[in-house]
Every structure is written in C-alpha cells, then in structure tokens.
Amino acid sequence: MPLHLVTPIDRAQDARGDSDSLELPAKGWRSHAADLCYIVLRGSTFLASSYLMALGLPLLFFLLISGGDAGVFFAHLANISDRFLGAEQGRQIGFLDEFKFVLIGVATLVVVWRLPRFVNDLERELSGEKL
C-alpha cells in the first residue's frame, strides 16, 4: 500500500502549473520585509568588515615600516606606548583626538572605496540574477 501525502505546498504548485497566466504575483509586505532585513544584515556586515579593515591599516603600516620583523615591530609599539604614557594628560587627549579623527577618515575612505561593489552585489542578489 503506497503512501501518497498531498501537502498545501503541492496543491499550490499544481495550481500554479495549471494556470495559463505567466504574470508574476505582486510582491507582498512579507517580501518587502524580507528584502529590508536582508539589506540591513548585509549592510551591517559590510560596515563591520570595513571598520575592521580600517583598524588593521595601522597594524599594516607598522609592519611595513618594521620590514616584517617582529622584534622591530614591537620596538616601534613600545616606543609609541612609552611616549604616550610619559606625556602629560593634555597631550594624551590631543593625540587620542587626532587618532580618532584619522581612524574615522580612514574608515570613511575604506567604505567609499568598497561601496560601489557592495551596491552592485546587493542589487544583483535582490533582483534574483544568477552568476
């Protein structure tokens, strides 16, 4: 005795196959909400990865000036930390303000550099195109 189970999904597919209309159904609010959630998730991962790239650029800079040598790299970091801790509080605050300004500027440049590709990928994925 074979078991044949018909689900509501099977009935919907049969009804879709029986219709002669080739029109796509109108997008409902759930489809728009799903697209919005997808955009928010992809945008947040884009911004997080861009900010992590911006945070990694000072590390890359110090690795480049040290020639890839770990001893020289940590000597540079020790020099900066000793000078920072030895400075008076006003100069420390000024350095941190400048560092924040530079970091935000670098993060902005990274986002602007990556944004066109992100928008193109997002548009392609939401339109349903295949690679």
Express each pLDDT in 91-124 by its tens digit.
Answer: 999 999 999 999 999 999 999 999 999 999 999 8
So what's the pLDDT on residue 22?
Answer: 55
pTM of the model: 0.65
For the chain, domain boundaries: 26-127
- Segments of the chain with pLDDT less than 70: 1-6, 9-26, 129-131
* Token digits of residue 78: 């020790």
Residue type, 74: F
Residues 6+ apart with CB under 8 A from 51: 107
Task: Report the mean per-residue pLDDT for the chain.
Answer: 85
Residues 6+ apart with CB under 8 A from 97: none
SS3 letters across 65-116: HCCCCHHHHHHHHHHHHHHHHHCCHHHHHHHHHHHHHHHHHHHHHHHHHHHH
